[in-house]
Copies of this chain bind each other. A is one copy, B any other.
Amino acid sequence: MTTLTKSHMVVAQNASGRSMNVPVYRLKGNIPGPTIYIQSSIHGAEVQGNVVIYHLIQALQKQVIAGEIILVPNCNPVGTNIKAGEYTLGRFDPVNGTNWNRGYFFDAEKVKDFADTVQPEDNIDEIRQQFRAYWAACIEEKLASPWGLGLAQQLNLKLQRLAVSADAVLDLHNGPVSTRHIYIPEFAKNAARLFNFPHCIFIPNVFAGALDEATFCPWWTLQEHLESRFGRPYHFDVVGFTLEMGSQEVIKFSEGEIDAASILCYLAAKGCLPEGSHQPKEMTRIGVDLSDYKTLYTDWGGMVEYCAKPGEKVKKGQVMARVLNIDELDNEAGSFDITAPCDLIPMLHFPSASVLSGTQLYKVFTQYTEI
């Protein structure tokens, strides 16, 4: 039998002195199995993941579950509720510009300290269990910093505390104007076939502050230490993914069902759904290394039509954007074209026609391959 419990976790307090909390849904089965952690909307304008979690909870309640699935929708109640004009200023703390998705905990030194205590004869399940407890304690210690922590970091660490018990972490995001793509750690490349995502980015063991990295970097680093010390393979298989499921500022219930189905496939593959028959779709999947995932910045300011659409292949030299120059509307300099510097596939583009110089116009796959 599957039991659902719902609680609320306080993650911040506002200037009126009121606590701001997030809902935490836990679905647990009688059968042992992995722990999966899924959150959405750490960037406040990226709301579609909330719908995906809605569909997941609706579906999972009716299923036999092995292990536990923890779901935290709308996990950033501050970011979701900052409006600036009609849009949501959800990417960073409006006080200081801190990206809401860069304050998770990782410390390579602390992994090394632990690795040094492991004995060659220790079995992998023991190591896993001990490291998890150790890492949880590290997060607690960070949270208890004597001089305190910034808001984004407090929020991140409280969420990470929930996620630390998980074998897989799914962080649900959206791009500005975007097509579906997913970030997958290189060591787990095969997971690309377990989701229904047409575009996959493979990322190395480098920590830049996000939850997926904060999830796998400690284990990956531990594994490398142990393999180097003891000269044999270790597989902890703790993994984190960032799923980009279309455009920010938009909710679509029907699209959410597609992504929920995709995640159910992954859960089934991980053994969470012993009675489920979820199979990932036969589809073309395209992959790039993170170093081939490029950002095209502007070196001009102006007003832009985005001609190249996210998800559509663009050949070198093809027009990607057309720019209006309001001071030259009477002559041929009134508009000019931006062309593709190489073959590429746009994943996303800037959501406003008005851009300053130095704007991230497009993010694109280059040197991509079918996988």
Residues of chain A touching chain B, judged by Cβ–Cβ distance below 8 Å, are 4, 6, 12-18, 23, 25, 44-45, 47, 50-51, 53-54, 57-58, 61, 71, 73-74, 77-78, 80-99, 146-155, 176, 249-253, 294-305, 322, 324-327, 329-330, 334-335, 341, 350-360
How far is A152 from B151 in the complex, measured between Cα atoms in Å?
24
Q: Which of B149, B354, B358 contacts A45 (CB 8 A)?
A: B354
Q: Is the CB of A15 within 8 A of B81?
A: yes
A57 to chain B: closest CB distance in Å? Answer: 5
Q: Which of B97, B299, B304 contacts A98 (CB 8 A)?
A: B97
**Residues of chain B within 8 A of A301, CB atoms compared:** 12-18
In the complex, the chain B residue whose C-beta lies closest to that of A8 is: B327
Q: Is the CB of B95 within 8 A of A83?
A: yes
Q: Which of B16, B57, B90, B151 contacts A80 (CB 8 A)?
A: B16
Task: Give 27 CB contacts A-B under 8 Å.
Answer: A12-B358, A14-B301, A15-B302, A16-B81, A17-B301, A18-B77, A23-B327, A45-B354, A47-B354, A50-B303, A57-B334, A58-B334, A71-B329, A81-B354, A82-B82, A82-B83, A84-B84, A86-B350, A86-B351, A92-B97, A95-B359, A146-B341, A150-B297, A150-B358, A249-B353, A249-B354, A251-B324
Q: Is the CB of B85 within 8 A of A358?
A: no
**Residues of chain B within 8 A of A80, CB atoms compared:** 14-16, 354
In the complex, the chain B residue whose C-beta lies closest to that of A176 is: B86
In the complex, the chain B residue whose C-beta lies closest to that of A143 is: B299
**Residues of chain B within 8 A of A357, CB atoms compared:** 12-14, 151, 154
